[in-house]
Chain A
Amino acid sequence: MATLSPSVPALRSEFGSSIERHLVSSGQTVVYVTRDRSHDVLAWLKDTPGQEFNYLTDVTAVEYRDPERPLEVVYQLRSLGRRANLRVKVALDKRGTLEVRSVYNLWRGADWLEREVYDMFGITFVGHPDLRRILMWETYAEGYPLRKDFPLRGHFSRAEQTRQALAANPEAHYSLEELSIADAYGELPKEMQERLAKGERGFLK
């Protein structure tokens, strides 16, 4: 069942050492690229005739149970015309900064997908226009749920979680974009108000 995608030798000849390694698992090709050139590689895969991976199927991340293994950002690509798939991964060292360049300018579908990876893993996507939490609320303080050091039931006690949940004003969950005209402006955290006053429209740390 092991069929290597023809994109791999093409990538190697184009990017050389930026392609770290490749493997075939369950009949599907996986290519590891270095973080600094991940955006270039993905843009090349999208735009080059003969590759034409015009469809971004998925963006996600994986953290392994083995603490030595790095975090991986996974891009699942598809070429609709050639009916071909490819999986591109970027390995991020857990001890360093977890950030990678956003592919929003290549595929608009990456918008919410990258926001979800940020929400669940804490990986920042540089260049994303509006990187904020999407599934949890914006001021969620417990951490990044899909990390392996995050316990299944969360860090806080149930009573504390319930208290924090009930304390939230449903209307205060506005994005920075909406806040320019929201009534609940006065109830926002001070820090958010200051950033809004400075004209920031970017992501929360």
Chain B
Amino acid sequence: MGLSNPKAGHDDTTTVSSVSPNWVTTRLDFLTNWARSNSLWPMPFGTACCAIEFMATAASRFDLARFGMERMSFSPRQADVLICAGRLPFKLAPVIRRIWDQMPQPKWSISMGACASSGGIFDNYSMVQGIDTIIPVDVYVPGCPPRPEGLMYGILLLQKKIKGETFTDDSLRVEKLVGPSGLFLPAERVDELSEPFGNSISQTRSS
């Protein structure tokens, strides 16, 4: 069924599953996606301030348990969604890459906060300018830190995304590994994503 190796024989751009979507597969999709989205076990990769807001979201006032996410999985092997809450310096980059690689499919990731999404206010020598240069990201939650309601909205968006998936599409579950060049994205793309933009260009003006 959908378990065929996507790399065997055909090229990656036009992956065609051996099963065509039909009424049965959509019913199975509905069941699978409902189960997956309502019991996402988060892998809280909390580094900085966003981790505190994540803890506050999990605590009693905002409560992640109603999304089925109260079981924090600190072992990546048992987690579904990696929530990168906080800034990511270069020293931590191989760690998050390794943890992402250790998570089994199906897996998703939420980049929580401005620093995880784009480097935030830390446009300097030590900070990764957005974790999407290291791992694939499904949902970006802006904010510094995002309010717990904002994180919950991001989780609801992820649930919506999951509900729109289908198991007949193999390309969704392809492991995007670090390439032979040593990078996850092409070098030009990394430089492009990391360029300063907006106000940060004027910040270094001296006076």
Contacts and interface: CB of A to CB of B under 8 A. Distances in A.
> Do A and B touch directly, given a CB cutoff of 8 Å in the complex?
yes
A156 to B, nearest CB: 9
Contact of A152 (B182, B183, B191, B204): B204
Nearest to B193: A158
A163 B181 contact: yes
Nearest to A156: B125
B96 to A, nearest CB: 10
A162 B91 contact: no
Nearest to B206: A65
A162 B94 contact: no
Contacts of B194: 158
Interface stretch (A20-28, A33-41, A74-82, A165-173): A165-173
Interface stretch (B48-56, B73-81, B127-135, B157-165): B127-135
A154 B188 contact: no
A108 interface: no
B125 A162 contact: no
B176 to A, nearest CB: 13
Interface residues of A, number: 23
A162 B134 contact: yes
Given A152-B204, A158-B194, A165 B187 contact: no
A137 interface: yes
Contacts of A164: 90
A159 B184 CA distance: 10
Contacts of B190: 158-159, 162
Contacts of B183: 159, 162-163, 166
B123 A162 contact: no
A169 B94 contact: yes
Contacts of B188: 159
A153 B123 CA distance: 7
Contact of B91 (A137, A142, A151): A137
Contacts of A162: 90, 93, 128, 133-134, 183, 190
- For chain B, the bracket of interface size reads 20 to 34
Interface in B96-136: 97-98, 123-126, 128-129, 133-134
Interface in A120-170: 136-137, 142, 145, 150-154, 157-170
A145 B187 CA distance: 23
Contacts of A154: 124-126
B172 interface: no
Contact of B94 (A142, A152, A170): A170
B201 interface: no
Contact of B126 (A145, A159, A160): A145
Contacts of B95: 170
Interface string A156-196: 01111111111111100000000000000000000000000
15 contacts: A152-B125, A153-B123, A154-B126, A157-B191, A159-B187, A161-B90, A163-B181, A163-B183, A165-B90, A165-B91, A166-B93, A166-B182, A170-B94, A170-B95, A170-B98
Given A159-B183, A162-B134, 10 more contacts: A145-B125, A152-B125, A157-B191, A160-B187, A162-B90, A162-B128, A164-B90, A166-B178, A167-B94, A169-B94
